[in-house]
Amino acid sequence: MVIAHLQKSNPTKINIVCFQGYTVLYTTDMNLPINRWQIQNVSGDNRMATIRDLKPNAAYTVCVLAYSTYGQGPMSVPKEIIVKPGRRYFLLISFV
């Protein structure tokens, strides 16, 4: 099981947006185009996403896209994990 924990920074006076949610993207094949990665959408103010049914001993690349009333933000820096049976993994990704 992989848990991606996201922490949203406080908006500045210059960049006030209405946060609506984010998309967690993940794959075991970095050669796939991003539109073929698996996705999990998280709406509202929820800051935690759980990705289930991952293959044991597989290497996954995970990244996040936040979105607001102004549209989609940039993709986070991809993080790689190797799933070991019986373990939980926490990824902390900060965004404004």
pLDDT digits (tens, 9 = 90+) for 42-92: 887 777 788 888 888 899 998 888 888 888 888 888 888 888 887 777 666
CATH assignment at residue 59 = 2.60.40.10
Q: Which residue has the higher pLDDT, 13 or 80?
A: 80
Which domain range does residue 63 map to? Answer: 2-86
Given a cut of 70, whether residue 93 has pLDDT beyond it is: no
pLDDT at 34: 92
Q: Residue 35 in 3-state DSSP?
A: helix
Domain count along the chain? 1
Does any domain span residue 44?
yes
Is residue 27 very low, low, confident or very high in pLDDT (cuts 50, 70, 90)?
very high
Task: List CB contacts of 77: < 8 A, sequence separation 6 or more.
Answer: 63
